[in-house]
């Protein structure tokens, strides 16, 4: 049995930037609090917790004297992760005296700016539509740029429902954006449908906001999955990108198995003659892919 790790899998640039920044800060000895999980991978979060990174919620930072936080309040530093945050979060942090280190992904920052500009350009009748996972941290940050006045759709069916109900008015200008980690194929399908329903093309602006690194991963990963007998996809349970990419792998290779760590491997998945591919989400660390690959080799 041979085992190959996908060379393109692992953290995306935005996550690398946030984790590197957190580790450098922690190495200097100061307490650091991450607003939400810095990455959607349980194993990597455990590693960073051991270094002193504490994950907190918006309720924690909103409280004048949160019992869940320790140490001198004047030394508390809040990390904004790659997903980004709405303007309201920065206001609350400032009011409560938090020092903020901002590691919002530059790609996400650009989209946030584009959404604000679209609202200003097409006010008062313009509409913002976002293709993304409802409740996802990045999506909440995007919606927050326009005070919550945006429609989020997770799939084509939801888009059709929003049009049928009048939530999206095709007689008014529509700006459509995508969460950076969504499927390029699904986004193209949604944009094509929207375009087919709007007679006056001047009323539709389609913004190409899927991260280029993520977009290229879809094609590369499909080829990787197709070229192996078995695929082991490594991802955290909360990773939206992990769900999308693991489903992509399974669509081209039915012998695709999703695991969170090496402990979840099952020897019955493999045959001695198999060529096994190990890959993962943009939130999966390289060290975890390597750990899973070693364990697979030890199964037979």
138 annotated active-site: yes
- Give 207's contacts (C-beta < 8 A, 6+ positions apart): 111, 114, 118, 175, 176, 177, 178
Of 44, 85, 95, 138, which is the active-site residue?
138
The set of catalytic residues is: 138
């Amino acid at each position: 049995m041979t085992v190959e790790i996908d060379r393109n899998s692992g953290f995306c640039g935005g996550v690398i930037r946030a984790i590197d920044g957190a580790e450098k800060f922690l190495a200097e000895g100061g307490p650091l609090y991450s607003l939400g999980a810095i990455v959607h991978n349980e194993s990597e979060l455990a590693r960073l917790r051991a270094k002193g990174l504490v994950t907190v919620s918006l309720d924690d930072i909103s409280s004048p004297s949160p019992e869940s936080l320790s140490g001198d309040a004047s030394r508390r530093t809040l990390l904004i992760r790659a997903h980004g945050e709405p303007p309201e979060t920065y206001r609350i942090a400032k009011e409560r005296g938090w020092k903020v280190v901002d590691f919002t992904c530059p790609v996400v920052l650009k989209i946030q700016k584009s959404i604000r500009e679209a609202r200003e350009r097409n006010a008062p009748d313009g509409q913002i539509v976002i293709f993304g996972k409802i409740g996802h941290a990045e999506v909440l940050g995007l919606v927050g740029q326009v005070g919550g006045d945006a429609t989020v759709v997770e799939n084509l069916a939801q888009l059709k429902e929003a049009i049928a109900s009048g939530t999206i008015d095709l007689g008014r200008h529509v700006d459509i954006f995508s969460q950076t980690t969504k499927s390029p194929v699904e986004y193209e399908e949604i944009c094509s449908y929207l375009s087919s329903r709007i007679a006056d093309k001047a009323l539709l602006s389609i913004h190409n906001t899927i991260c280029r690194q993520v977009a290229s991963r879809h094609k590369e990963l499909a080829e990787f999955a197709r070229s192996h007998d078995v695929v082991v996809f490594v991802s955290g349970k909360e990773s939206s990108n992990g769900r999308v990419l693991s489903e992509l792998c399974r669509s081209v290779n039915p012998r695709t198995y999703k695991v969170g760590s090496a402990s979840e491997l099952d020897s019955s998945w493999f045959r001695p003659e198999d060529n096994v591919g190990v890959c993962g989400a943009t939130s999966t660390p390289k060290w975890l892919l390597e750990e899973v690959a070693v364990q697979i080799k030890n199964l037979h």
